[in-house]
Structure 1
Amino acid sequence: MMNKKVIVTGAVIVVIMAMAYGAWNWAIRNPESSPISNSAKVSTIETGITVGKMMPQFSLMSLDGQRVTVAKSDQVIVLNFWATWCPPCREEMPELEQFYKRYGSTVQFYAINIQEPADKVAGFMKDNQYTFRTAVLLDGDGAVARTYRINAIPTSIVIDKAGIIRYRTAGTVTLAELEGVLKGL
C-alpha cells in the first residue's frame, strides 16, 4: 500500500512540475501577454529575419563598385534577393522596374544579386534596360542571403522606418503587392 502512495505522489509531482515548466515556457515565448512580464516589459525589439524583428544591418558592394551599408533609415527599405539565371526573378523584374521608377526617390530599394559576377549582372541590367542599376548590390559570397535565410529566390522584404521587418515573401512580387504593403505602413 505504501508503494502505491509513493508512486501516486511522485506522479503528481511530475505533473505539477511539467505544468509549471509549460507555463514558464509559454511566458517566455509570449511576453506581451504574460502576467509574469507585465511589470517589466522589454522595450527593445530583437534583431532577426522574420516579420516583427529588427533588420540585421549589412554592407555590400554596389554594381558601381561603391560600398553600401543598409541599416535602419528614415525611409522604408525594400530588399529583393535575386539572380539572373532565376526564371521567376526575371519575370518580376519589369514590376520592380516600375516600382523603382515610382518610389525610388522615397523608398530605399535594393536588388541584392546572390553569388554572380558583377560583369554578368551588369550585362543583364544593360541588356534589359533596367534603370535601377545603382540599386543593385552584389552578395558575392552569399553571406547576406544566409543571414536573412533566403531559401528561395526571388524573396522580397519590406522594412519600416523604425528598421522593423513588416513584410516578407518568397516568389515573385508585383508592383501592386509592394504598393499595398507601403500603404499599410
Structure 2
Amino acid sequence: MPFLIAAVILVGVLCVLDLILTLGVVRRLREHTELLANAKSGLPAGIAVGEEIGDFTASTLDGETLRRADLDGETVVAFFSPTCQPCRRKMPKFVEFAKAMPGGRDRVLAAVIGEPDEAAEFAAQLGPVARVVVEGDDSGLVEAFRTSAFPTLLRVSPDEAGRLVVKATDVRLDRPALVA
C-alpha cells in the first residue's frame, strides 16, 4: 500500500510540474508572437537613410495641395493602413508623439493608404495632429517614399544641397518628438 501511495504522489507531482512547464511555454510563445508582430511592423521602409524622396503631389483632407518642396524642414512622415493590426496598435502612440512635435501639425505628414470609407477612422484620429492624406494602394506618396510596409515612420528634411532626404527610418514613439 505505501508503494501505491508513493506512486500516486509521484504521478501527481509530475503532472503539476508538467502543467507549470506548459504554462511557461505558452507564455513564451505569446511573447514571441508579439515580438514577431512588432518586428514585421518595423520592416525597412524600402528607402534608406540619406536617400532622396521622389516627386509627389498629394491633396490633404484640408484641401491643401502638398508637394515635395512643401516639406521644407524636419518632418515626420507616417504611413498607415486601416487593415493593418500593427498600425492600429501604434496609432495612439503616434498621435501622442505628433502632439508633442515641435512645429505642430505642419511638421507631421500622415498618409492613410486604403479606401476612403475604411480610412475615415484613422483620418479622424490623425487630423488634429498632422496633415493627412488618404490615398489608394497606387498612392504617389507610397511611390515617392518607396514604402513597402505598414506602419512606416520616417524622419525627413532637406540636406545641405536642398534635396529632401530621409534622416531616420526608425522613429521611436516612446521618446520625445525632438527635432535634431
TM-score (norm 2): 0.58
Cα contact 1:49–1:56 (8 A) shared by 2: no
Larger relative contact order, structure 1 or 2 (CA cutoff 8 Å, min sep 6): 2
Q: Which residues in structure 2 correspond to 1:17-166 (within 5 Å)?
A: 49-71=47-69, 73-103=71-101, 105-106=103-104, 108-117=107-116, 119-126=117-124, 129-132=125-128, 135-140=131-136, 141-162=138-159, 163-166=164-167
- How many residues matched? 129
Residues 151/134 of structure 1: CA separation in 2 closer, same or farther (3 Å cut): closer
Once residues 103 and 131 of structure 2 are traced to their aligned partners in structure 1, the CA distance between those partners, rounded to angstroms, is 11
Structure 1: 5+ residue stretches without partners: 1-47
Residues 71/152 of structure 1: CA separation in 2 closer, same or farther (3 Å cut): same
Structure 2: 5+ residue stretches without partners: 1-45
Residues 134/101 of structure 1: CA separation in 2 closer, same or farther (3 Å cut): closer
SS at match of 1:176: coil
SS at match of 1:63: coil
Residues 99/67 of structure 1: CA separation in 2 closer, same or farther (3 Å cut): same
Cα contact 2:126–2:132 (8 A) shared by 1: no
TM-score (norm 1): 0.57
- After TM superposition, what 4+ stretches of structure 1 lie above 4 angstroms from structure 2? none
